[in-house]
Structure 1
Amino acid sequence: MTHRFPIKEIARQAGLGTATVDRVLNGRAHVSPQTKMRVTAAMDELKAQEAQLAARGRRLFFDFVIEAPSRFSREVKAAAEAMLPQIGTAVCRPRFLLQDIMEEDEVVAALMRIMKRGSHGVCLKARDTAKIREAVKMLANARIPVVTLVTDIGGTDRLAYVGLDNAGAGRTAAYLISLTLGEPQGMVLATRSHERFLGEEERESAFVEALASERPGLKVLAVQGGGVDFETSKLLTESMGDIRNLRAVYSMGGGNRSIIRTLEDNGIRPEVYVAHDLDRENRELILNRRLDFILHHDLQLDIRNAFNAFLGYHRLSNELLETPISTVQVLTPENVP
């Protein structure tokens, strides 16, 4: 079988071992018809990609470094992959590093590896710390643009921020809670996944200020940390002694199934529950009416804006580098898309 591609590349495309591909290409025995078809299809796909590259120009590699629960990371990966066919000026290849929890040094090490091997852009969701800010500056100095996703990193030369208007989301949560509750007394639980996520800090600050203005009789209890189920449950359990007359929950960082379960284990069911993001877990919870409102934004639009920012940086797009911030959409059990 004639070909012009390295065996390793054909094997990677076909999802087979190199030895199996070698047997197919050299017409050796003990190869099933299905395996031969997979190798042939893989070579056809490589030819199509080669033609696509010739027609569309450069091949660009973008790195996604995301610290978030897997439920959110899956949504980011799916949104990025859905956007690829819509990019007409280059062939874009995303590479993903997705982890529930990444310590500061892990993020910095990952960014330094990317700088060493090269990249056309980094889409970053990470905590706002001094070391991470310095690593972002180093990438920018190496002419590797960084776009922050959902939560920003201050004091850096990042190219753009894409994601939700976090302060607007916090004010919206305060409005929904103050509007829904009748008797304006009691406590509101406000949970964040980590104190160093700047986006969640902006949400909480705006929420607390707006709620104090609308319903001064409601006291906010802030719980920071978690984000993954076990840690969220553990931290909330430790705070149960501080909870009195809980009326509402504003969850800024996820872990809602664990929050609901922990509260119910202690005989508490809030009158109104506001959460963020329509991921799989939250979709199930709101359809079962365990959540009352979800503050949602179009993640695919955010990813599209990130790609546009990268393409503009490399002069492959006429899109403006000034990227729009996503406005919040209020979802209820009756209007879940």
Structure 2
Amino acid sequence: MHPRPSTLPSMADVAQLAGVSLATVDRVLNRRKGVRARTVDRVLKAAVELGYLDREECRKLSGPRLPNIAFLLPKGTNPYLRLLGEKVRATAATGSRDDSPVRCFFIESFDAGALASALHHHARWADGIAFMAIDHPLVREAVEEVGAGGTRLVTIVSDLPHSAREAYIGLDNQAAGRTAAYLLARFCHVREGSVAVVAGSRSYRAHSEREMGFHSLLDEAHPGLRVVGMREGHDDRNENYLHTLSLLDQNPDLVGIYNVGGSSDGIGRALRERQKAGKVVFIGHGMTRDTRRLLIDGIMDAVINSDPDQIIALTLARFRRPPHSRTHGDGHSVPLSMEIIFRENIPAQIR
């Protein structure tokens, strides 16, 4: 037996007794991946012998390790994605030692190279990564490489099908686009006129699928409503504001706008300034403080929402399941319920 030191033991003492590096001790005590089982046993045995851990703490650390989970979200002014990130971080802050460690990182929006690099970087420590996918060869290659290395991948909000990702958790975005077209056409009360689509970027499959669904319903049921083109506002309120002003100037017969992305407040600002509130039907996505205000003020007519708490809960539940386990018929997809919110059914509180 080694004599107990007169002072409190440190991680360095544990490393010395176990014959491993300080970094290895840190990985064992913080339950990070990449440490062999026999090394874990040696470190925990040394920690107990030195009194750095008691036997109950050792028992917890020697049990099955919960997965380390990373969420990668685009940074920017999109209020819905900021809300989702805040909720992920709140989940991480309130987690106990018995919960999966969760961390959230914001990366450059609409940048495939930045997302690919982030996937490789965080795969070094994370067992599972949830991310809003960009449909780009760099991202597909990173997903294949990271997945082959054993990191589990789940796409959220926007999918990357036919890749190494394990599942997609989000709306059926074509159905969301068709729903938006149905609502807009019913609210317009006219058979003919121009309608516009504003998106963040087609690089997000969610946005292109919503646009596709929107077009398909109008083509089928409302051919007199002419789509005048799609503008990419990169989920930036100022870009959306300028696009809306341009659309109003160029299309005097504009009767509706569908924002497939975020930052609807920029569109609302333009409609308010041009006194088009209530005259141009406005449908968008994501129940946040800005869309709530737009609904109350009568500038926005409907918001198509997916509950961010549900996204987080379903993602964490997926990672807690054994790798690659699937229920029959899940199709690698976990569709979210689609909420349609109007001024008269706004939730009592948006946090």
TM over 0.5: yes
Cα distance, 1:97 vs structure 2: 1.5
Cα distance, 1:250 vs structure 2: 0.9
In 2, Cα distance between equivalents of 1:325 and 1:136: 21
Cα distance, 1:90 vs structure 2: 4.9
Task: Give CA deviations for 1:138-189 in whole Å, capped at 9, x if unaligned.
Answer: 1100110111111111331101000111111111111111212222111111
SS at match of 1:295: strand
1:310 corresponding residue in structure 2: 319
Contact 2:71–2:103 (Cα < 8 Å) also in 1: yes
Task: Give CA deviations for 1:79-112 in whole Å, capped at 9, x if unaligned.
Answer: 4356569999952122221146252211122112
Q: How does 1:92-171 map to 2 (within 5 A)?
A: 92-99=100-107, 101-115=109-123, 117-171=124-178
Contact 2:193–2:255 (Cα < 8 Å) also in 1: yes
SS at match of 1:60: coil
Contact 1:57–1:90 (Cα < 8 Å) also in 2: no
Contact 1:67–1:100 (Cα < 8 Å) also in 2: yes
SS at match of 1:177: helix
Seen in structure 2, the aligned counterparts of structure 1 residues 212 and 86 have a Cα distance that, compared at 3 Å, is farther
1:185 corresponding residue in structure 2: 192
Contact 2:244–2:270 (Cα < 8 Å) also in 1: yes
1:60 corresponding residue in structure 2: 67
Cα distance, 1:4 vs structure 2: 6.8
| Structure 2 unaligned residues grouped into runs of 5+ | 1-6, 12-52
1:282 corresponding residue in structure 2: 291
Q: CA RMSD in A?
A: 3.3
In 1, Cα distance between equivalents of 2:214 and 2:246: 23
**Counterpart of 1:187 in structure 2: which amino acid?**
S
In 2, Cα distance between equivalents of 1:292 and 1:311: 39
SS at match of 2:298: coil
Percent identical residues: 24
| Higher gyration radius (CA) | 2
**Counterpart of 1:299 in structure 2: which amino acid?**
P
1:292 corresponding residue in structure 2: 301
1:224 corresponding residue in structure 2: 232
2:31 corresponding residue in structure 1: none
| Structure 1 unaligned residues grouped into runs of 5+ | 7-45
Seen in structure 2, the aligned counterparts of structure 1 residues 103 and 94 have a Cα distance that, compared at 3 Å, is same
2:179 corresponding residue in structure 1: 172
Contact 1:292–1:333 (Cα < 8 Å) also in 2: yes
In 1, Cα distance between equivalents of 2:194 and 2:59: 58
1:249 corresponding residue in structure 2: 257
In 1, Cα distance between equivalents of 2:203 and 2:163: 15
Q: Does 249-258 or 284-293 show the bigger shift?
A: 284-293
Contact 1:146–1:159 (Cα < 8 Å) also in 2: yes
Seen in structure 2, the aligned counterparts of structure 1 residues 86 and 301 have a Cα distance that, compared at 3 Å, is farther
Contact 2:95–2:101 (Cα < 8 Å) also in 1: no
Cα distance, 1:72 vs structure 2: 2.1
Match of 1:328 among 338, 341, 345: 338
Contact 2:239–2:266 (Cα < 8 Å) also in 1: no
In 2, Cα distance between equivalents of 1:288 and 1:229: 18
Q: What TM-score, normalized to structure 2?
A: 0.74
Q: What TM-score, normalized to structure 1?
A: 0.76
Cα distance, 1:198 vs structure 2: 0.2
In 2, Cα distance between equivalents of 1:167 and 1:89: 40
Cα distance, 1:230 vs structure 2: 2.4
Matched residue pairs, number? Answer: 295
**Counterpart of 1:97 in structure 2: which amino acid?**
F
Q: Does 287-296 or 223-232 show the bigger shift?
A: 223-232
Q: Does 51-60 or 300-309 show the bigger shift?
A: 51-60
2:33 corresponding residue in structure 1: none
